[in-house]
A and B are shown apart, each in its own frame.
Chain A
Amino acid sequence: MSAYVRSALAIYRKDVMIEARTRETLSGVFMFALVVAFIFKFTFDPAPQVVALIGPGMVWVAYVFAGIVGMNRTFVLERDRGTLEALLLAPVPREAIYLGKLLGAFTIMIVVEAAMLPVFVVLHDLSFLSLPFAVTAVLATLGMAAVGTLFSAIAVHTRARELLLPVLFLPVALPVIIAAVSATSLLLDGGGWGDIDLWLRLMLAFDIAFLVLSSWAFEFVLEE
């Protein structure tokens, strides 16, 4: 295991440990996703046949918005406690900091997405659980975390930090959102691997492109 991966995992472990002891972000993000899913009931009051139509959109709006709330917090603790400087002084490559932070954001989003599955069943009688959906969610979340981690490192230092992340993030993440919603729709209509193949490949291409690009660009974001 290279020093690069080791330092990334150390940062990730540190963040997971903080999260495991406080459960601040995880519970907050989950509650946020929950109220978004709940408010859909009263904004659309969908009949059962409509739920099948707008269900994938509801699910991904809840996931994406919760993801933004979660990613906004990726660097907040570091900034508030002044530990970001210490992290930058540590003799680790910047890409490792990026990778560690990305894994943290990814984990929180995936856990919340999984925890929301039964909520959608109860509130809207929507069941998504299948292997193709899990792969869709993992690829989409990885893409969102790749872009979101980079942008949240920018947003956290600006004056309007909670405001800037969605404005930067949503347009850039559009391909992944389109792919995730479309693939989920196809799966809900009874489709299988073959039907969502193109969307999965699109998300994979997006993930690879932005993982590489963002880990390169991250250095320029954090530089003092």
Chain B
Amino acid sequence: MATVGTTRAPGKTGLVQPALLIVGAAFLFTDLYLIFQYVPTERVMGIVQRLFYFHVPTVWVGFLAFFIVFVSSIMYLVKRTEVWDRRAYAAGEVGMLFLTVAMVTGAIWAKPVWGVWWVWDAKLTTTFVLWLIYIGYLMVRAYAPDKRRGARWAAVVGIVGFVDVPIVYYAAELWRSLHPELVTGPFAESGGLAPEMRTTLYFSALTFMLVFAYLFRERTAQRADEQALDELRARVG
């Protein structure tokens, strides 16, 4: 903490964050144009299918975020450097946000298309379980008596939860195949995408990655500031 007295804050991220913000915003506006103007309306599902371009990218990012939680948690337990804990925490929070958006858009899309808000196929079940594990992950930190233990316990939950996800998927798939399917053909549309749809989907995925990267870095920097402030307070008081 030799930087006290200068203007440089511990969590400051230089030029990358403003650049990400500008590029991310430009992508987001372009993405909205693609989703609501450029891409043709799907013939069978109609206008609601446009949610697809929010839903699928946010699912991808939500799962990617949990992979970051997993890797950062291992790195934290092995190296014990705070920066890995901050990364895991930030990825957990932002990932939880993305997964929530994914589940809400998915449900709104499912109602008119499948006739129900939710089905318990392997993909949805796994996503829901991952979402619950995210909540547990954040709750462990909130209920821990101090930050250091909260960080260690959360890392354990992050690692155990990540290993659990493929097993949940397999079990849910096996379970479904033994029960009569109520609604057939979920995610069937991903097979026959028109070129414009494919372009929009990939562009949207890139956009949400940028948004995630921005939020993730911002949150990590905030945590660094928070810690620096705590240390400063402890020294003064």
- A residues near B (Cβ < 8 Å) are 147, 150-151, 154, 157-160, 163-164, 167-168, 170-172, 174-175, 178-179, 182, 198-199, 202, 205-206, 209-210, 213-214, 217, 220-221, 223
Contacts and interface: CB of A to CB of B under 8 A. Distances in A.
Interface of B: 77, 129, 132-133, 135-136, 139-140, 143-145, 149, 152-153, 155-157, 159-161, 163-164, 167-168, 170-172, 174-175, 178
Contact of B156 (A158, A167, A217): A217
A202 B171 contact: yes
B139 A159 contact: no
Contact of B163 (A158, A179, A209): A209
Contacts of B159: 213, 217
Contacts of A202: 167, 170-171, 174
A57 to B, nearest CB: 13
Contact of A164 (B140, B145, B160): B140
B178 A158 contact: no
- Top 10 nearest A-B pairs (CB, nearest first) are A175-B171, A158-B143, A171-B132, A168-B136, A217-B156, A178-B171, A175-B167, A154-B153, A172-B164, A171-B129
A209 B167 contact: yes
B72 to A, nearest CB: 14
Majority DSSP secondary structure for residues of A touching B = helix
Given A172-B133, A202-B167, A220-B77, 16 more contacts: A154-B153, A154-B157, A157-B144, A159-B143, A164-B139, A164-B140, A172-B161, A174-B168, A174-B171, A175-B167, A175-B171, A205-B167, A206-B167, A213-B159, A214-B160, A217-B159
Majority DSSP secondary structure for residues of B touching A = helix
A209 B153 CA distance: 19
A147 B157 CA distance: 10
Given A150-B156, A174-B129, A175-B168, A182 B145 contact: no
A108 B20 CA distance: 55
17 contacts: A147-B160, A164-B139, A167-B139, A170-B132, A171-B161, A172-B161, A174-B164, A199-B174, A202-B167, A209-B163, A210-B163, A213-B159, A213-B163, A217-B160, A220-B77, A220-B152, A221-B156
A158 B164 contact: no
Nearest to A164: B143
A150 B149 contact: no
B161 to A, nearest CB: 6
B122 to A, nearest CB: 11
Nearest to A224: B149
B164 A175 contact: yes
Contacts of B77: 220
A147 B132 CA distance: 16
A145 B200 CA distance: 47
A8 to B, nearest CB: 20
A206 B165 CA distance: 11
Contacts of B161: 171-172
A213 to B, nearest CB: 6
B180 to A, nearest CB: 14
A82 to B, nearest CB: 16
Nearest to B136: A168
Contacts of B152: 220-221, 223
Nearest to A159: B143
B144 A158 contact: yes
Contacts of B129: 171, 174
